[in-house]
Amino acid sequence: MSQKNHQIYSIPTYDAAFKWILSEERVRPSFFHAFIPNLVIQSSTRLDDHMSPLQLFQLLRKFVHDEDTEDVVSALKEAQQFEVHVKNKEKQLKLSSSASKLLQDFITRFDDMQQAFPKPRFDGTMDFVCEIDNGEYALIEMQVAPQDYWDKRALAYISAFFGNQLRKGGDWSKIKKVIGINILGGGKDNLAHWSDTPEQYVRHYRMQEQLYKIPPRFIDGIELIQYSLANAPEDLDTQEKKDWVIFFKNAQNMTEKEVAETIKTPAVLRAFERAKIQAMPGEVRRKYEEEDAEYDRYSIHTAELAAKGKAEGKAEGKAEGKAEGKAEGLAEGKAEGKAEGKAEGKIEEKREIAKNLLKQGVAIEIVMAGTGLTKQEIEEIQRIEIR
């Protein structure tokens, strides 16, 4: 029987599961306590989509790219001339030249609006946004598959949220700190997001003054804390942190007996209960299963690319190794030339594998893991060999 048939708990780093699990108020304070250092949080309020500053842009994007909106704009453009009538206080329709001009200007500038607010390539809404009890905001993002530019994406989210707290005529003193929390999970394959620094489990970024560092000075407003679950050490300093890491890394592989014997934190035990696949509401479970299938497609695609790249690289590397080995063998001796030819052929094989994977858009971290090349070597391949 497959692992999936035995599976009791969902993979909690999938968006649908995570949002469902943390939507329970009594679970969140423990999560924040484990993942935001030196901040005691007693309660938090999840912001719905309409309370999030960033959601305003998402709603505008949706509006200007909606098919019905585009159809109406297209019809009005074809009409070229139109008039707008509005009801007066007596509820009688009257021609309004100002309303007609406003709509005409909207039609004229509609293409510019679509360019200014382009349709996103992905769902730009954040995973989870909370206002914590000290008035600050916490933005939580889950990421399963390693991706290039993840840091930029995370920074873009928290920066946009920070800047869009203030409305025209608002009070600057009302702007609150925004803390971004990135849980970089490994999915079914337990992928490491920072394969070049396996000893790093957490990274904490703040805006620090760079010229005069004693005493250290910070502009307090934005912080970004990232956790690579695959790099988590065994000896975390509290049971609570250890329990949360076990939950995010391995919930999908655990039995109820193992959970009862291992997990000591009440909030994490409650999170496990929420993570049970059979207990999920229908819509949550449907979205979760869609994400699970999507991750399977991602893994299969990556494996196919790796196999193809390995085969192509092996053939080219072997040919080059033989040629170089033969040439060097004539000059320095057959045995020495053969050894060096094999070694160089192996390096070329790895470089060809990396080049083929990069051309297919595979993330640098995955290429590093599959070839054993360093980040610098892969970046050199990108710069010199990939146009």
Residue where one domain finishes, among candidates 249, 280, 311: 280
Please calculate the CA angle 259-262-267 and round it to the nearest 5 degrees.
70
- What local confidence, expressed as pLDDT, does residue 50 receive? 43
Q: With b meaning 16 or more CB within 10 Å and e meaning fewer, what string describes 59-75? A: eebeebeeeeeeeebee
* Domain enclosing residue 322, as ranges: 298-385
Question: Under a CB-based contact definition with an 8 Å cutoff, are residues 193 and 227 in contact?
Answer: no
Lowest mean pLDDT among 89-93, 280-284, 340-344: 340-344
Residue where one domain finishes, among candidates 280, 308, 331: 280
Place of tokens 């060809």: 352
- Residue 60 counted as domain residue: no
End-to-end CA distance of the chain: 47
CB under 8 Å to 252, separation ≥6 — which residues?
A: 7, 9, 10, 11, 12, 188
- What local confidence, expressed as pLDDT, does residue 119 receive? 65
Q: What is the dihedral of CA 304, 310, 316, 322, to 10 degrees?
A: -150
| Same domain for 91 and 156 | no
User: What does the pLDDT look like over 193-218, one tens digit per residue?
Assistant: 887 888 899 999 999 999 998 999 99
User: What does the pLDDT look like over 215-262, one tens digit per residue?
Assistant: 999 998 999 999 999 899 988 989 999 999 999 999 999 999 999 999
User: What does the pLDDT look like over 54-90, one tens digit per residue?
Assistant: 555 566 777 888 888 998 989 988 887 888 888 888 8
Cα–Cα dist 309/314, whole Å: 8
CB under 8 Å to 207, separation ≥6 — which residues?
A: 218, 219, 221, 222
| Same domain for 167 and 37 | yes
- Residue 289 counted as domain residue: no
- 315, pLDDT greater than 90: no
Q: Which residue has the higher pLDDT, 275 or 303?
A: 275
Q: Which residue has the higher pLDDT, 69 or 385?
A: 69
CB under 8 Å to 367, separation ≥6 — which residues?
A: 354, 357, 358, 373, 378
- What local confidence, expressed as pLDDT, does residue 271 receive? 97
pLDDT-derived band at 44, boundaries 50, 70, 90: confident
pTM exceeding 0.75:
no
pLDDT-derived band at 127, boundaries 50, 70, 90: low
Total structural domains in the chain?
A: 3
| Same domain for 197 and 337 | no
Average pLDDT over residues 134-138: 89
CB under 8 Å to 196, separation ≥6 — which residues?
A: 365, 368, 374, 375
User: What does the pLDDT look like over 18-40, one tens digit per residue?
Assistant: 999 998 988 999 999 999 988 88
- What local confidence, expressed as pLDDT, does residue 281 receive? 93
| Same domain for 221 and 108 | no
